[in-house]
Each structure stands twice: as C-alpha cells, then as structure tokens.
Structure 1
Amino acid sequence: AFGPLILLSLFWRKLTNYGAIVGMIVGAVVAYCWGQFLSGGIFDLYEIVPGFLVNLILAVVVSLATHKADSADDKEIQEEFTHTGEILIQGPVDR
C-alpha cells in the first residue's frame, strides 16, 4: 500500500505528512482486512487493489484538508529547484 505515496510524492506537490501517514495506515489496514475477512463473490479481488485505492483517496483528501498556503521561504525554495531542473534539462553549455 505504498504505491500511491510514491506516486503522489513524485508528482503532486500538495502531499502532506498527515496525508501520507493516514493513507499508508488505512491502506494497509484495508489490504489486510480485505485479505482476511472478505473473500468470494464480488469481494474476490486481490487485496492490494482496494488498499491502493483507499490509500490514494485518503492521502489526497487529508492532504487537501491539511495543506497550508506556501510561505515566502517555500516559494523561494521551489523556485530554486525549478531553476536547477531547467538547467539540468538544457544540458551542457557549448563554449
């Protein structure tokens, strides 16, 4: 149940610590309970799938609820990373 956290941490800047922790814990609990208590019929699904989905949904919802507005320091750091990324994408400079 760590997949959504890896994807969100790489591609979504608003992921918060609280969203990651809640998503990880609840996703793991859902995956465990699904495998132990729900089987057969419509519940005959590999347990990591519902764990993944619940993890993803809760991580996004909790992160949106606990996300604070970016401060000036956060914006400055983000601009530095963006500038560094642009330099890396451009490649070596011909002289």
Structure 2
Amino acid sequence: MTDERSVEQLLEDADTPDTDYHGRLAAVTGEARSGGVTVTVDLYGKPIGLHFDRDALSLRASELSALIIRLAREASAVALDAGESVVDDITDAFALTAWRSRS
C-alpha cells in the first residue's frame, strides 16, 4: 500500500491534532492478571472482561472473589493511568494550539 499524499499534505496532517477526544477516552481500558484470572475494566473501572484459565479452577470461592476484586482495583489503576495519558495529550494539543495562535 502506497501513500499518495504529497510531502506538504503529510506535514499538514501531522500538524492537525486528533480531536476525537471522546473516542480516545472511551477506548481506554486497563487489564490485570494473576492466578489464572484476567480482569479488564473501562476508564471508569467498570468490568468489561473477565477470563479464567485452568489455574483459577483450583481456587476456593473466597480466594477467587478476593483475587477478582484485587485485580479489578489494579486494572482500574492501569486504566486511570492510560486515561491520564490521553488527557495529557489533549491538554498538550490545546497548549500547542494556543501558543501557535500568539505567533
């Protein structure tokens, strides 16, 4: 596949900020795994995925539930870090735009 855009168009596209902030934040997830359990959460910490491997079958119910809760917290921290990174990119884009308008 060949990109047919000119050098000028490529430079212009590179300078155009990604303004789909809602979409970028909506796509943020966090994942944590341990003991045969994988928990995936969205940016708000809402579980969106739960996977058990064979190792998880050997756990007692109380151990399994405690593990899921711990992993959900860890996954939430990962998601928040990822969301923070997106917000940093957004604020950097706004700062860059504001700086350019003063030139």
- TM-score, with length taken from structure 2: 0.33
Higher relative contact order (CA 8 A, sep 6+): 1
Bigger share in strand: 2
Bigger share in helix: 1
Larger Cα Rg: Structure 1 or Structure 2?
2
